[in-house]
Amino acid sequence: MCQLQEVKYSCGHVRKTLLQACATAKRLGPTPRSRAPSYCVNGLEVIQGVKAEGSCGRGANGYTCYENQALAPLRQRIGAIERELARLSDRVANVHRVLESEIRPVYDWERVARTGYDVEEMKQRQVTLLTEILPERLAYWRAIVTHVSKQITAATNMTFKTLLEKIGSRVDNIPVSKLDLELWDEWISYDDNGDPIDIQPEFAVLEQVWERMHGLANEEAKMIEDVAATCCLEAIGWNPPQLEDEGERSLLYIALTSRIVHPVRETEAQATPL
């Protein structure tokens, strides 16, 4: 049985090294002088453990072990933010995909007339929504995504430097942009009472920026879906999102059920000129 030594580094990583190869291992072939084998026909046995000062030296992406560990929570948070932005973008893309087709809902104008509304006025409104308002909102969404991305990138850079400075790493080579400095001045990590925020203080800038940016993107996505509901786009293939938030779900339900204009059939549409 090959005998191993387990070295525990202060960074938290563990490395096994070979102390003594067994007779079988020596007979079957040469063995490394220090590297632990991953397999031995007679088995592997850790006979001693030692603690080593400092990092194991295992670096990645140009950062040391300590730096990668310090940055891991930030990378996880950014991953969650990117997934949420992707979710909102998918909702908007579903509306855009349907609007790009040449199919338009067939509206039940007789039903509109029975309710007492001016049919011609409602026809013009639907044309305006489909040809002007909704395309404008979709274009504005693209501008919002660009703005949000810039803000999140700047806030991430601030958090990035804060985390590295906390462990004593040099950050002289990390450029500080004008937007970074503006964020540092604008997003103060204090609550309404003037007390410092005590939950993950290193993430205070990023979290406050994300709260505002997420609100901006989420509100625009809901507005686009509200217009889509008014245009009855679900009749031509739009799938209203399954929202987790009860309040948002209720608002979308109201938009779908309280509209003045309805399609002739909720499940069927045909190509019609606007």
- Among 7-16, 62-71, 81-90, 187-196, the range scoring the smallest mean pLDDT is 187-196
Residues 28-63 have pLDDT tens digits of 665 555 555 665 766 777 778 888 776 666 666 667
Task: Quick: pLDDT tens for 224-254.
Answer: 999 999 999 999 999 988 887 788 888 888 8
Q: Is the pLDDT of residue 191 over 60?
A: no
Q: CA dist 267 to 235, 237, 264, Å?
A: 5, 9, 9
**Is 50 exceeded by the pLDDT of residue 184?**
no
Contact predicate 65/194, CB 8 Å: no
CA 32 to chain centre: 45
pLDDT higher than threshold 60 for residue 187: no
CB-CB contact of 99 with 92 (8 Å): no
How high is the pLDDT of residue 269?
A: 44
In tens, the pLDDT along 110-128 reads 999 999 999 999 999 999 9
pTM for this model (two decimals):
0.69
Predicted confidence at residue 55, as pLDDT, reads 64
Beta carbons of 102 and 130 less than 8 angstroms apart = no
Q: What is the pLDDT of residue 170?
A: 53
Side chain identity at 265, as an amino acid letter? R
Helix (H, G, I), strand (E, B) or coil at 48: strand
Summarised one tens digit per residue, pLDDT across range 251-260 is 888 888 889 9
φ, ψ of residue 212 to 5 degrees: the values are: -75, -45
Please write down the long-range contacts of 149-153, taking CB distance under 8 Å and 24 or more positions apart: 150/179, 151/179, 151/183, 151/209, 151/213, 152/78, 152/81, 152/206, 152/209, 152/210, 152/213
Identify whether the C-beta of residue 138 lies closer than 8 Å to the C-beta of residue 96: yes
Domain ranges across the chain: 2-52, 65-257
- Give the span between the Cα atoms of 59 and 11, in whole angstroms: 11
- Check: CB of residue 263 under 8 Å from CB of residue 107: yes
What does DSSP say about strands 44-52 and 2-9: parallel, antiparallel, or unpaired?
parallel
CA 246, CA 131: separation in Å to the nearest integer? 31
**Residue 138 pLDDT:** 97
Provide the token pair at 153. Answer: 């990138």
Is pLDDT of 142 > 80?
yes
Where in the chain does DSSP place strands (E)? 2-9, 14-20, 44-52
Q: Please, how many CA atoms are within 13 Å of residue 214, restricted to the half-sphere of its CB? A: 15
pLDDT at residue 189, rounded to an integer: 42
Candidate from 5-9, 98-102, 143-147 with smallest mean pLDDT: 5-9
Cα–Cα distance measured from residue 75 to residue 72, given in angstroms and rounded to the nearest whole number: 5
3-class SS at 188? coil
Mean pLDDT for all residues in the chain:
79
What pLDDT sits at residue 36? Answer: 58
pLDDT confidence of residue 166: 76
pLDDT at 16 > cutoff 90:
no
DSSP state at residue 259: -
* pLDDT on residue 46: 78
pLDDT tens, position by position, 199-215: 456 788 888 899 999 99
DSSP 8-state secondary structure symbol assigned to residue 167: T
Counting residues of the chain whose pLDDT is more than 90, the rounded percentage is: 41
Average pLDDT over residues 170-198: 45
Residue 107 pLDDT > 50: yes
